[in-house]
C-alpha cells in the first residue's frame, strides 16, 4: 500500500505505527490526550466514542470526490454510512463474515470425539477434552467481544436476531433465548470450556494453541480462515453451530451469529494540521488496501472489478464460501451494537459470566436493568 500511495501522492511522507489489538484502548488514550494520529484504523466502537468527543472527521465530501459508492460492492457500501447518514471511515476489508467455531480434525480424531452437531454433543466433547488436558475452546478473553459472541451464538439458536434484538429493545435477557444462553455459557465454563488463562489470552496465543493441537476448537470471525488455512490445510473444519437442542439443531443450523459488515476502516482526526491531505490520503489508501487484501491475501473482494488474486484459496475458505450459500439470517458482532450502554453491559456482564462464579440469575437481573434503563433515557 505504501508503495502504491507514493505513486499517487509522492510528496506525502508517512510515519507508521502498528495498531494494537486492544479494543481501541490505545486510540482512546491518544484521543483523551488530544494526540490522535492524522489517520487511524477504526471500527464502530471507536467511531461512537470519537463522535461524542468530536475526534473524528466526516468524510462525505472526500468519499464523493473519489467515487467511493461506485468503487465498493453493495455489501461494502452498507459499511460506509453511520446511522446519522455520514461517512466516518472508508472500509479496508470486511464483508459478509459470520462468527465461526473452528475445530482441529486431528485432535478430534485422536481423542475419539465426533464433531458435535447439537448442544448435548458439544458439552460432552468439552468434558472429554478437559479431562485429557486439552483446552476445549481457545477463547481469547483478554478482549471482551468473543464472550459476547459466544453468548450470541447460543441465543441465536432460539431467537435468530440474537443480541441485535437486545440492542433494538425487542427482547430482554430474561426472555427464554437469552436465559438459556446464559445458562449454557455458565454450564460450559464450569465443565472446563476455556481452560486456564483465558482472561490473559490474546488472539495470537489462542491461534497458536489451536493450530498446535493444544486446543480442540477456536472461535473467531470467519476471517480467521486466512490465518488458519495456511497453517492447517485440510486439518481444520468449521462447526455450524453445535449449541441448539438436539430436536431442532438441523432446523436452526444456518441462523448465523455475527455477519454483515460494520462501519470501520481508515478515519481522520479533525484536528490534524494536515486534515485535507490526510483525508484524501485515507480514502485512496483504504481503496488500495481493500484491493490488496484480495490480491495478496485472497480475502473475498469488497471492491468492484478487482485485479486477479495472486493466491490460491485454502480449502477452509472454499468451504466457508460454499457454506455461506446456506445462511438464513445474521445477527451482529458486538461492535455493531449501536447503544453503547447495552454494548458495555453485555461485554462486562458476559465477561463475569465466563468466570463461572457469577450466578445466572444475577447476570439476567443486572443486565436487564441496565438495558431497560438505557432504552428509557
In this predicted model, what pLDDT tens digit does every residue of 62-112 receive, in sequence order? 999 999 999 987 656 666 767 688 999 998 875 567 899 999 999 999 999
pLDDT at 53: 92
pLDDT at 338: 82
Q: At what angle do helices 44-52 and 25-32 cross, to 10 degrees?
A: 10
pLDDT at 132: 97
Close Cβ partners of 173 (under 8 Å, ≥ 6 residues apart): 166, 179, 182, 363, 364, 367, 368, 371
Q: Which of 363, 375, 377 is nearest to 178 (CA)?
A: 363
Collapsing DSSP states into helix, strand and coil, what is residue 248? helix
Point out which residues pair with 164 in neighbouring strands: none
Dist. CA 279–CA 258, nearest whole Å: 30
Instruction: Give the global pTM.
Output: 0.72
pLDDT at 107: 98
Q: Is the pLDDT of residue 253 over 90?
A: yes
Are 293 and 307 contacting, i.e. CB atoms less than 8 angstroms apart? no
Q: Is the pLDDT of residue 262 over 60?
A: no
Element (H, E) at 102: strand 99-104
pLDDT band for 159, please (50, 70, 90 cuts): very high
Q: Is the pLDDT of residue 215 over 70?
A: yes
How far CA 75 is from CA of 43, 79, 210, 375, in Å, comes to 16, 7, 31, 29
Buried b / exposed e across 22-36, counting CB within 10 Å, b at 16+?
A: ebbeebbebbeeeeb
Give, in degrees to the nearest 5, the angle at Cα 66 between 85 and 222: 65
Question: What is the pLDDT averaged over residues 234-258?
Answer: 93
Are 139 and 220 contacting, i.e. CB atoms less than 8 angstroms apart? no
Element (H, E) at 216: strand 215-221
Cell numbers for 117, please give them: 452437531
The whole-chain average pLDDT of the chain stands at: 90
How far CA 86 is from CA of 54, 71, 89, in Å, comes to 14, 17, 9
pLDDT band for 2, please (50, 70, 90 cuts): low
- Greatest mean pLDDT among 14-18, 24-28, 192-196: 192-196
Give, in degrees to the nearest 5, the angle at Cα 264 between 253 and 18: 110
Q: Sketch out the chain's domains with CATH numbers.
A: 2-95+262-307 (3.40.190.10), 99-258+329-376 (3.40.190.10)
Total residues belonging to the chain: 377
Buried b / exposed e across 188-210, counting CB within 10 Å, b at 16+?
A: bbebbbbbeebeebebeebbebb
pLDDT at 94: 59
Are 98 and 222 contacting, i.e. CB atoms less than 8 angstroms apart? yes
Report which DSSP code applies to 247. Answer: G
pLDDT band for 293, please (50, 70, 90 cuts): confident
Question: What is the pLDDT averaged over residues 357-366?
Answer: 97
Q: What share of the chain in percent tops pLDDT 90? A: 63
How far CA 195 is from CA of 132, 136, 188, 285, 287, in Å, comes to 11, 7, 11, 41, 41
Are 355 and 189 contacting, i.e. CB atoms less than 8 angstroms apart? yes
Q: Which of 102, 233, 208, 99 is nearest to 163 (CA)?
A: 99
Between these two residues, 264 and 164, which has the higher pLDDT value? Answer: 164
Collapsing DSSP states into helix, strand and coil, what is residue 32? helix
Alpha-helix runs per DSSP H in the chain: 2-8, 25-32, 44-52, 60-65, 68-71, 74-77, 105-110, 119-131, 145-155, 162-167, 176-190, 203-211, 225-232, 275-295, 315-323, 340-353, 360-376
pLDDT band for 296, please (50, 70, 90 cuts): confident
Amino acid at each position: 500500500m505504501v508503495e502504491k500511495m507514493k505513486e499517487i501522492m509522492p510528496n506525502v511522507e508517512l510515519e507508521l505505527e502498528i495498531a494494537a489489538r486492544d479494543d481501541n484502548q490505545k486510540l482512546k488514550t491518544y484521543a483523551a490526550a488530544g494526540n490522535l494520529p492524522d489517520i487511524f484504523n477504526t471500527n464502530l466502537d471507536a467511531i461512537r466514542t470519537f463522535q461524542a468527543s468530536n475526534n473524528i472527521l466526516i468524510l462525505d465530501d472526500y468519499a464523493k470526490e473519489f467515487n467511493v459508492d461506485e468503487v465498493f460492492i453493495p455489501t461494502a457500501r452498507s459499511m460506509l454510512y453511520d446511522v446519522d447518514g455520514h461517512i466516518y471511515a472508508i472500509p479496508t476489508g470486511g464483508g459478509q463474515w459470520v462468527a465461526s467455531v473452528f475445530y482441529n480434525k486431528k485432535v478430534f480424531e485422536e481423542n475419539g470425539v465426533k464433531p458435535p452437531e447439537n448442544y448435548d454433543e458439544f458439552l460432552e466433547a468439552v468434558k472429554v477434552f478437559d479431562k485429557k488436558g486439552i483446552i476445549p475452546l481457545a477463547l481469547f478473553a483478554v478482549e471482551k467481544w468473543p464472550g459476547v459472541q459466544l453468548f450470541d451464538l447460543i441465543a441465536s439458536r432460539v431467537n435468530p436476531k440474537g443480541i441485535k434484538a437486545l440492542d433494538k429493545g425487542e427482547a430482554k435477557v430474561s426472555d427464554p433465548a437469552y436465559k438459556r444462553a446464559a445458562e449454557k455459557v455458565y454450564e460450559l465454563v464450569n465443565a472446563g470450556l476455556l481452560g486456564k488463562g483465558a482472561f490473559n489470552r490474546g488472539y495470537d496465543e489462542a491461534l497458536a494453541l489451536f493450530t498446535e493441537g493444544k486446543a480442540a476448537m477456536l472461535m473467531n470471525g470467519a476471517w480467521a480462515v486466512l490465518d488458519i488455512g495456511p497453517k492447517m490445510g485440510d486439518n481444520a473444519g468449521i462447526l455450524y453451530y453445535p449449541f441448539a437442542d438436539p430436536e431442532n439443531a438441523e432446523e436452526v443450523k444456518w441462523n448465523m451469529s455475527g455477519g454483515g459488515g460494520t462501519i470501520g476502516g481508515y478515519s481522520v482526526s479533525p484536528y490534524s494540521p494536515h486534515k485535507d491531505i490526510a483525508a484524501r490520503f485515507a480514502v485512496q489508501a483504504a481503496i488500495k488496501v481493500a484491493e490488496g487484501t484480495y490480491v495478496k491475501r485472497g480475502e473475498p473482494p469488497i471492491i468492484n472489478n478487482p485485479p486477479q488474486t495472486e493466491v490460491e484459496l485454502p480449502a477452509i475458505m472454499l468451504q466457508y464460501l460454499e457454506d455461506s450459500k446456506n445462511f438464513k439470517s445474521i445477527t451482529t458482532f458486538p461492535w455493531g451494537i449501536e447503544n453503547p450502554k447495552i454494548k458495555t453491559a453485555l461485554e462486562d456482564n458476559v465477561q463475569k459470566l465466563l468466570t463461572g462464579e457469577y450466578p445466572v440469575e444475577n447476570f439476567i437481573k443486572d443486565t436487564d436493568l441496565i438495558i431497560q434503563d438505557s432504552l428509557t433515557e
